[in-house]
Amino acid sequence: MRKIFHNHFRLKLLGIYLAVLFISHLSIFLLPPPKSLPNTKKTLIPTSQGTLAAQTWGHSKHPCIIAISGSPGQGAQDWKNFAPALAQKGYFIIGVDRWGYGHSTHQVDDYSFASDSRALLSIANHFQQKQYSLLGWSYGGAVSLHHAYHYPLNVQQVILIGGLGIQEGEGSGNYWIEHIKYAILWAGIKATHYLVPHFGLLHQNRSSQSFARDFWDSDQRPIKDWLPQIKIPALILQGQYDPLVTAWTAEKHHQLLPNSQLQIYPASHFFPFGPSNHPIFQNSIQDIDLWFREKKLSPQKWSPPQKLGGIGPPIRGKLPWLLLCPFLLLTLRISPRWTYFLTSLFGAWLAFDLITGLGIIIIGSFFLKKKSWRIWFALCLAGLITGSLCLSQLG
């Protein structure tokens, strides 16, 4: 009797869900599209692929710096603190809304950093800048490196702030593993949009789809071969405690770029966001200005790590993960609780890529029919917190 009641109750819930989902899709179809973002003094530039948007700070007669933001992000708005501070030093800053962000076209065929790099030509031509420097934060670093390699006559200097680059610097270090991750992310985003009754609210955050496509459409493998051939002066500013683009990656970029300088700050990935009165924020502005004018940096005010190679996941590439995968599945079968806790702990500690490690044990739990998801979630959370605290203490 109880089983019949439960089945009947589940059918009712399914019917309610399908009805609400239908009403949600119907409302999206009938209602007008979401209003565009309020224009914050942005310039719209038509191109063959779509419309690009850019925001400027400073006088156009000053040395030009094109600033490219990360992924995900808010486009030119990511530079709302950093760009005005640089402009006060006597620079003309052009902040770019990359494809899929801000006021630029959100539906394009190619979201890769190569496509973003080509778009910089249209932006430079519009503002009549024949030569310019590049400032790339996070994902914008890969855009800057692509542009410096393919259009060296246009670029005077390159500045990377926590800049994305070589494939080995990514979480797993392997192209195929990373693309599997972003394929799952893309599928999850699309499933959420179609299977969750959101009544158009999710359309207001369209950059989530652009974020997944940024990495899915890009190939970082050639960057390692490009770097030794980029003779343009390059400045690398890096947070010592950056968990997204690690200090190990910045050091590798510095080794490969023949005309580069590296400055390490005791900061994370987001120090360009400010606040503008923070010492590290102010010091990074001073370093850029001094480097632009004299090609040197201010004396290091903080002690850098003795070995940057020890920061960031040492387990990278396809072969190590092929060996680690059966090991995690074996420990999952022997002691699932300890496996969940230690995978989260060492992932948060950057011993290996957290998302890949958790993905393996979640899939393994499904096939091994390990239940008690609440317990596993609590253990993962405990491991993440413990690992993050250890990382912050040990640097």
pLDDT tens digit sequence for 149-196: 999 999 999 999 999 999 988 878 889 888 888 888 778 777 777 777
Helix (H, G, I), strand (E, B) or coil at 68: strand
Helix (H, G, I), strand (E, B) or coil at 356: helix
d(CA 72, CA 64): 25
In this structure, the strands spanning 51-57 and 92-97 are antiparallel
| pLDDT over 70 at 129, yes or no | yes
Residues 287-316 pLDDT 10s: 999 999 887 776 666 554 444 433 455 666
Residues 308-334 pLDDT 10s: 433 455 666 665 777 778 888 888 888
Residues 211-227 pLDDT 10s: 889 999 999 999 999 99
Residue 137's closest CA among 267, 271, 251, 231?
271
d(CA 200, CA 193): 9
d(CA 85, CA 259): 26
d(CA 21, CA 196): 7
- The amino acid at 83: A
In this structure, the strands spanning 92-97 and 64-68 are parallel
The CA R_g of the chain, rounded to the nearest whole Å, is: 23
d(CA 339, CA 358): 10
Dihedral sign of CA atoms 94, 97, 99, 105 in order: negative
- Cα 320 from chain centre: 24
- The amino acid at 151: Y
Contacts of 41 by beta carbon, 8 Å cutoff, 6+ apart: 55, 56
Residues 36-84 pLDDT 10s: 555 557 899 999 889 999 999 999 999 999 999 999 888 999 999 999 9
List 54's β-bridge partners, or say none.
43, 96
d(CA 101, CA 111): 10
Contact predicate 86/93, CB 8 Å? yes
Section 119-135 average pLDDT: 96
d(CA 375, CA 1): 30
Task: Report the percentage of the chain scoring pLDDT > 90.
Answer: 43
- Residue 73 pLDDT: 85
Residue showing tokens 């002691």: 335
